[in-house]
Each structure stands twice: as C-alpha cells, then as structure tokens.
Homo-oligomer: A and B are copies of this chain.
Amino acid sequence: MQGDKAPSPDQLGYVGGRLDRADHIRTNPDLLAQTFASPDALLLVMDGLEPVTADGHLLMQPLDPNALLEEHALLGLDEARRPVFARLIVDAKEDVGFASRGRAIVTELPAHEVALYGGARSLIHWHDRHSFCAVCGSRTAPEKAGWARRCGSCNSEHFPRVDPVVIMLAEHRGRVLVGRQHSWPPRLYSALAGFIEPGETIEEAVAREIREEAGVAVHSVRYVMSQPWPFPSSLMIACIAQAEDGALALDETEIEHALWVDAAGVRAALADEADAPFIAPPALAVARHLLKHWLHGQVAQTRPSA
C-alpha cells in the first residue's frame, strides 16, 4: 500500500488508523446496501478474533457476492475509498494471551493496519458477547452497519462498549512507581492501571487506583496520551501523578511487588539492559511509552546542570 512505513519495533500498538469510518453510510440503509454490493468491497479476513496476514499485510479479500449484509460490519473506507467489512458471525476463540497473533502483528504490519485490526477485534468481540438484550433477555440483531444492536422484543438499542482505563506512573523525588502482577513473566514491571468507575473523573480514578493498589496518595495528575487496547475493548488513558510520599502499602491480591525506579533505572530497562532493575513492557503497550515520556522529561530537566 502507498505511504506505508516499515513496521517499527518501537511502534505503540493499535493507534493510527486511517479508515474513514463513514458514519453517513452506517445510518443510511440504501447507501449501506449499495456500499455492500460495490465490486470494490473488501472483507477483512479473521481467524475467530485473531488476524490473518499475508506478505506483511492484513489479508483482505473481495466480499463474497453471496454474503449477507446483516452478518457484516462496515469498518470504513480505505484510502482508495474501498469499503472494508468484517464478518460478525465468528466462532470466537478465547483470548490466547501474550502469545496471540493479535499482539505479534504490532511489529510485523504497518501501524494503520494494526489499528484497523484492533478496532475490528473489539467490535466483533462485542457482537459475539451481545446476542441477547440485557434489558429483557430477548434476541438482538445488528443494525447501523454493525455499530449497534437492537432488541427484537423491547426495541432497546445497544452500542459497542469502550471501557476507559487509567494507566499511570506515580512520581516522587525523581523516581517513578512500577508494579507487577502475580501472573507476569519474571522481572516484568509496568505502570499501575485500573478501570474508571461510574462517578469518577480521570484524575479521581488515577488517585483511587494508586491508593488502592500501592497505598500512595497522589495529586497533580497530568494526562499524557491514550491508546485503544483491543483485549477486548479498553481505552487506555496514560497519566503521570505526583506522589505525596514514597512509602508503599501494597494490595497483595492485585500487586505482587512494586518498585520506585530512578531515571538511570528506567533508561536501562528501556534499553533492555541485562542488569536493569526491571524488564519494561513491550512497545505495543502504552506503559512503555509512558516510561519513555517520563524519562524524556527527566533528561530535559537535568540537562542544564549535566
């Protein structure tokens, strides 16, 4: 495809989509039918929830002329204005974890294709888990080109979920807090994270999660960046907060261990040095980019006296 850069090992996953989501087609049944019948229409081929690739790209095929519109979602229009559809009726396998193809493609494919896959995975997973109406228990069916479902009985409309998650570093006297869960590979540490609850701002959720998981009070929460995370459909909201104190009181059901790490330690971990104080998360995860962002700020602060 034109304009593709070679995949970068430092690429944040699932961001940078280039599809035009074409909302005006979703909501216009005639235009949608015409788009579905277009000879240019493409199907994003999936293996359950996993991507299928060929020659360093997502596998796309012409849409089968016998395909049924009601079994497909319009993902959008590509840069050549070709409509791209995904099939909603899948035999969705369970998430196969860190070894999944959905994670491996981040370093294999152009970023915008990884983003296209991520959005498709979240949407397909949502449909797979929403055949029934949560209000009345009856069958639901897709509508709006796969961007909603409607109940055949009580007429309730349901929309795809996006679950906002805060992921954050607490900072204290030139060090940041990283923690690890019991199930993780040895020495891997990352930013703390948790779902935003009803009734909270981003900033309030950051403060609550750091207090719950590490016993640390924070203030001055600063937003850094965001990332859609398609396992199954989170919006990662990455922040840095100022800790009032360095003393830790871990919630050991959530966190196995946590560390305060200085700039030299973060730099060594990001350089994958063998004697680094921890192993940093991979580049597909926003936590690595949050650590880089913080380190960059530290270098900028210390440069005048260096």
How far does the alpha carbon of A237 sit from the alpha carbon of B237 in the complex, in Å? 11
Give which listed residue, B15, B136, B200, B212, contacts A119 with CB less than 8 A: B200
Residue interface mask A111-149, B partner, CB < 8 A = 1: 000011011101100100111111111110000000100
**Residue of B at shortest CB range from A129?**
B135
Give which listed residue, B24, B156, B195, B198, contacts A126 with CB less than 8 A: B198
On whether the beta carbons of A162 and B132 are closer than 8 Å, the reply is: no
CB distance from A132 to the nearest CB of B (A): 4
On whether the beta carbons of B132 and A131 are closer than 8 Å, the reply is: no
B residues in contact with A131, CB < 8 Å: 134-137
Q: What class of interface size applies to chain A in its complex with B?
A: 35 or more
B residues in contact with A204, CB < 8 Å: 15, 17
On whether the beta carbons of B230 and A201 are closer than 8 Å, the reply is: no
**Residue of B at shortest CB range from A225?**
B201
On whether the beta carbons of B227 and A17 are closer than 8 Å, the reply is: no
Give which listed residue, B133, B159, B198, contacts A195 with CB less than 8 A: B159
Known A132-B133, A134-B130, A139-B137: A226·B198 in contact at CB below 8 Å: no
On whether the beta carbons of A230 and B199 are closer than 8 Å, the reply is: yes
How far does the alpha carbon of A163 sit from the alpha carbon of B158 in the complex, in Å? 12
Known A197-B21, A198-B230: A132·B136 in contact at CB below 8 Å: yes
Known A134-B134, A164-B164: A226·B202 in contact at CB below 8 Å: yes
Residue A294 CB within 8 A of the other chain: no
On whether the beta carbons of A228 and B17 are closer than 8 Å, the reply is: no
Residue A23 CB within 8 A of the other chain: yes
Give which listed residue, B136, B163, B208, contacts A162 with CB less than 8 A: B163
**Residue of B at shortest CB range from A135?**
B129
On whether the beta carbons of A162 and B130 are closer than 8 Å, the reply is: no
CB distance from A156 to the nearest CB of B (A): 8
Residues of A within 8 A of B (CB): 14-15, 17, 21, 23-24, 27, 115-116, 118-120, 122-123, 126, 129-139, 147, 156, 158-164, 195-204, 208, 212, 223, 225-228, 230, 233, 235, 237, 251, 253
